[in-house]
Amino acid sequence: MEEKDDVLITEIVKKVREELKNLELEKNVVMNSLREVSDQIKTLDKKEMELRGKIEALVRREAELSERKVKLEKRLEEIKRKLAKLSEAQKSITEAF
């Protein structure tokens, strides 16, 4: 009976060792995948920060251009008023002679 128990115990120990080996291999695969995912996240975070910087620069540029556009539109209105006055003055002079 003891010999049978020894064989049974040996088989159980063998199966436990195999399972441990399999679990260790699976753990390594999962850890490698986790490292890859972590690296990908870091890469995406870096790219996100770069894009945020570019967006901020574009927003600033847009604000500058909008301000310039408003100034140019005011200047254009001023020029149109002056042209209208000159045209009116020219008409008055032409009618006077």
Dist. CA 73–CA 76, nearest whole Å: 5
* Residue 89, domain member (yes or no): no
| Residue 82 counted as domain residue | no
List the domain range (segments joined by +) for residue 45. 1-70
Residue 43 lies in a domain: yes
Q: Does the residue 87 lie in any domain?
A: no
Asked, for residue 80, whether it belongs to a domain, the answer is: no
Judge whether 84 lies within some domain: no
CA distances from 61 to 9, 45, 51, 74 (A): 77, 24, 15, 20
Q: What is the pTM of this model?
A: 0.61
pLDDT band at 60 (very low <50, low <70, confident <90, very high): very high
**Residue 59 placed within a domain:** yes
User: For 63-96, how does the pLDDT look when each residue is reduced to its tens digit (9 = 90+)?
Assistant: 999 999 999 999 999 999 999 999 999 988 988 8
Q: How many domains does the chain have?
A: 1
Higher pLDDT, 91 or 45: 45
d(CA 61, CA 85): 36
**What whole-number distance in Å separates Cα of residue 96 and Cα of residue 90?**
10
* Cα–Cα distance, 4 to 33 (Å, whole number): 43
In Å, how far from its chain's centre is CA 25?
A: 36
DSSP H/E element including 28: helix 2-96
